[in-house]
Structure 1
Amino acid sequence: MRIGACQTPEILGDVDASLRVIREFADAGDVDLLLFPECFLQGYLVTEQHVREHALELDSAVLTELAGIRPTVVLGMIEREGDRYFNTAAVVRDGRVVGRYRKTFLVPGESVFTAGDDYPVFECGGMLFGINICYDAQFPAAAAGVAANGGQVLLLPAQNMMRRDKAFEWQHRHNAIRAERARETGMWLASADVTGERGDDRIGLGPTCFLNPAGEVIAQVPAGRSGMVVAEI
């Protein structure tokens, strides 16, 4: 399975722009699966106003616009189901949602979301993959849930647009935590994150990368740059 992990600019509230970025990455490399950051489709801004205004149901016609893209797309989005909202990663094939994972470990600022409660796995290129989202990586139980269901690859959409002091403090800690999950479970791990700046006080440094089951970084997009790294698992 060839995976492309995409480090993208942050896009807030502009779904059409997000879809264009997805198509650009799909045209840029010959891969079986493309991984995008946490809540990438509508942008990670967890105010009630943003979530309520931009949330989409999984059967939204918006996602059908990805029809014709060959790779499976794992896409962070803000999901609405009835009167509940979820921080979700949708698994999309040819414009059709074939599954989803809902973030199970929410940070205190994500009270607008409902936590998920399962760790599904999906097949692609003869491999089984599962998903954790960003803060999930700090909890061994989330990765263990994927491994227990047969996962061989763990995908981690993330969104680390942080205050500048925190961004540089955490720049190298993210992969140290993810390496623990890889070693504990024996899974490969791929992450996708945003880059760029939000106003004067926030910056996104990634990392978007691949870790092998020994927890070693084998490929990474340079900090502060948009781009894609590809690994064959």
Structure 2
Amino acid sequence: MRIGACQTPEILRDVDASLGVIREFAERADAEGVDLLLFPECFLQGYLVTEQHVREQAWELGSTRLTELAGIRPMLVLGMIERDGDRYFNTAVVVHDGRVAGRYRKTFLTAGESVFTAGDEYPVFECGGVRFGINICFDTRFPEAAGGVAANGGQVLLVPAQNMMPRVKALYWQERHNAIRAERARETGMWLASADVTGERDDERVGLGPTGFLSPAGEVVAQVPAGTSGMVVADVQP
């Protein structure tokens, strides 16, 4: 399976712009024979965990605009804010030709994500004969999250992330993200692909990634340069 991991600008409250970025990356990915395209955490509506943002921006999966992505050949995995009744989830949705093929709801929430309800399942999906599951950002701090995907037959772990942080914190964590993810790869024997945002939100907050691929041995095999938007592609052979 050929995967494209996308490092994108942060987009807040502008779904039209988010869908436009997806189409731009998908056009390039299709030309490069990519089977699956990965985008960051809460990418569609933007990652803000204030109650106002979540309530105003959340979608129910059955009433989303994801059908506008019909005609895109690669399978898409992208973050969104999901509403289900009176509950809200930090969700990664799997989309194929504009149709929802499944979803994963973040199971380990940070202290600042109390507006969300935690998920409790680790579904596994298939693309090109390869089975993959999803952890979202903070999930990777916990071995049981990656282990849940592996236990269900996952061969590849996809990690939508969003690490827009105060500058000092972003620099501190820049290399540590891959170190933590490498532990999950080695523990489970899975390939790992991550996608993150980049750029500056304001004078204080910056996104540095990383976006890229780790082998089952925990080695970085490809990565988008820090501070730049772009896509990196890798052929994953479990």
Q: Does 1:210 align with 2:181?
A: no
Q: Does 1:70 align with 2:73?
A: yes
Q: Distance in 1 between matches of 2:153 and 2:73?
A: 25
**1:11 aligned residue:** 11
**1:117 aligned residue:** 120
**Number of equivalenced pairs:** 233
**2:204 aligned residue:** 201
AA matched with 2:170: A
Taking only the aligned residue pairs, the percentage that are identical comes to 82
**2:46 aligned residue:** 43
Deviation (angstroms), 1:60: 2.1
Q: CA RMSD in A?
A: 0.5
AA matched with 2:28: A
Q: Does 1:174 align with 2:177?
A: yes
Deviation (angstroms), 1:59: 1.4
Q: Deviations over 1:6-37 (max 9, x none)?
A: 00000000000000000000001221100000
**1:22 aligned residue:** 22
Deviation (angstroms), 1:169: 0.5
Q: Deviations over 1:133-182 (max 9, x none)?
A: 00000000000000000000000000000000000001100000000000
Q: Deviations over 1:23-74 (max 9, x none)?
A: 0000012211000000000000010100000000111241101101001000
Q: TM-score, normalised by structure 1?
A: 0.99
SS at match of 1:178: helix
Map 1:154-169 onto structure 2 (within 5 A): 154-169=157-172
Q: Distance in 1 between matches of 2:101 and 2:137?
A: 22
Q: Distance in 1 between matches of 2:28 and 2:217?
A: 29
AA matched with 1:20: G
Map 1:80-95 onto structure 2 (within 5 A): 80-95=83-98
SS at match of 2:65: helix
AA matched with 2:8: T
Q: Does 1:55 align with 2:70?
A: no
Q: TM-score, normalised by structure 2?
A: 0.97
Q: Distance in 2 between matches of 1:169 and 1:211?
A: 20
Give 5+ residue unaligned stretches, structure 2: none
